[in-house]
C-alpha cells in the first residue's frame, strides 16, 4: 500500500475529522486524496512555488512556517507532518506549535526519515548529505535527521502520548535513511497539569 493511501485508510477515513492541517504539504497530493474524508483540509507550505503548483485544484492552501503556525489554539482535530521535520532545525518548535493548534485528544501523525546507527554512520550520513546538496541544492545541508528516540522525546515533552510507531521503508536514496511513522495523541490539558504536579 502506498504511503498516502496508508495514512488515509488507517488514520483519516476511520475518524470524523472536521479540521486537518498538513504541515509541509508540498504539492498537496495527500490533501487531494483525503479531501473526501475530511470536512476542512488545510495545507501549510513554506514554498510559494509549491503552493502555486496546484492552486487551481485546491482552495485551502496557506503559505506559512511550521515554526509559527498562523492558526488559533485548539483548532484542529489532526495535524500531519509528512517529510517536513528534518527540514526544521528546531524540532521542539514544530511539536510545540502542533500541540498548540490541536484540540485536546487530537491526532498528530509524523512521517520522516530517521537516523539509526553509530558514529561512523553519522560521518557517512554527513557525506551523503553533502553529496545530495551538490545534486539538489544547499537546502539539503540544513537537514537535521533525528533518531526515533529523539523524536519520541521531543513529542512527549510537548504533550503528546505516542500510540504507535513503525519503520515504513528500508534505507534508500537520496538520503539512505529509513522512514518512520509516529502516531501520537495530544494529551488533554488536565493530563499535562497532573504530570507537572507529580
pLDDT digits (tens, 9 = 90+) for 5-36: 888 998 998 888 999 999 998 888 898 888 88
Q: What is the pLDDT of residue 27?
A: 82
Encode pLDDT of 143-174 as tens digits: 788 889 999 999 999 999 999 999 877 655 55
Residue 43 — pLDDT band, cuts 50, 70, 90? Answer: very high
Ranked by mean pLDDT, the top range of 11-15, 30-34, 69-73, 191-195 is: 69-73
Cβ atoms of residues 43 and 28 within 8 Å: yes
Strands 61-63 and 160-169: unpaired
Q: What is the pLDDT of residue 185?
A: 96
Burial class (CB in 10 A: 0-12, 13-18, 19+), 44: buried
Q: What is the pLDDT of residue 70?
A: 96
Which of 7 and 191 is assigned the larger pLDDT?
Answer: 7
CA distance 12 to 5: 10
Residue 51, pLDDT above cutoff 60:
yes
Q: Which of 122, 126, 120, 123 is nearest to 140 (CA)?
A: 126
- Kindly state the percentage of the chain with pLDDT values over 70: 75
Mean per-residue pLDDT over the chain, rounded: 83
CA distance 40 to 42: 6
Residue 61, pLDDT above cutoff 60:
yes
Domain 3-113+147-189 top-level CATH class: alpha beta
Angle at 67 between CA 30 and CA 22, to 5 degrees: 10
- pLDDT average, residue stretch 89-112: 95
Cβ atoms of residues 121 and 150 within 8 Å: no
Q: Is the peptide bond before 38 cis (omega within 30 degrees of 0)?
A: no
Which of 151 and 115 is assigned the larger pLDDT?
Answer: 151
Amino acid at each position: 500500500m502506498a504511503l498516502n493511501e496508508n495514512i488515509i485508510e488507517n488514520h483519516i477515513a476511520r475518524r470524523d475529522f472536521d479540521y486537518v492541517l498538513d504541515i509541509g504539504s508540498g504539492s498537496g497530493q495527500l490533501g487531494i486524496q483525503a479531501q473526501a474524508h475530511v470536512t476542512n483540509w488545510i495545507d501549510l507550505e513554506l514554498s510559494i512555488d509549491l503552493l502555486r503548483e496546484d492552486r487551481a485544484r485546491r482552495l485551502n492552501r496557506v503559505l506559512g512556517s511550521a515554526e509559527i503556525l498562523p492558526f488559533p489554539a485548539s483548532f484542529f482535530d489532526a495535524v500531519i507532518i509528512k517529510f517536513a521535520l528534518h527540514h526544521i532545525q528546531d524540532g521542539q518548535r514544530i511539536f510545540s506549535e502542533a500541540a498548540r493548534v490541536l484540540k485536546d485528544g487530537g491526532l498528530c501523525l509524523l512521517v520522516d526519515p530517521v537516523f539509526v546507527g553509530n558514529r561512523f554512520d553519522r560521518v557517512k550520513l554527513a557525506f551523503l548529505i553533502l553529496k545530495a546538496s551538490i545534486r539538489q541544492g544547499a537546502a539539503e545541508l540544513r537537514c537535521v535527521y533525528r533518531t526515533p528516540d529523539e523524536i519520541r522525546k521531543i513529542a512527549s515533552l510537548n504533550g503528546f502520548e505516542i500510540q504507535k510507531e513503525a519503520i515504513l521503508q528500508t534505507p534508500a536514496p537520496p538520503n539512505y535513511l529509513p522512514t518512520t511513522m509516529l502516531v501520537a495523541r495530544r494529551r488533554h490539558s488536565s493530563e499535562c497539569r497532573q504530570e507537572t504536579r507529580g
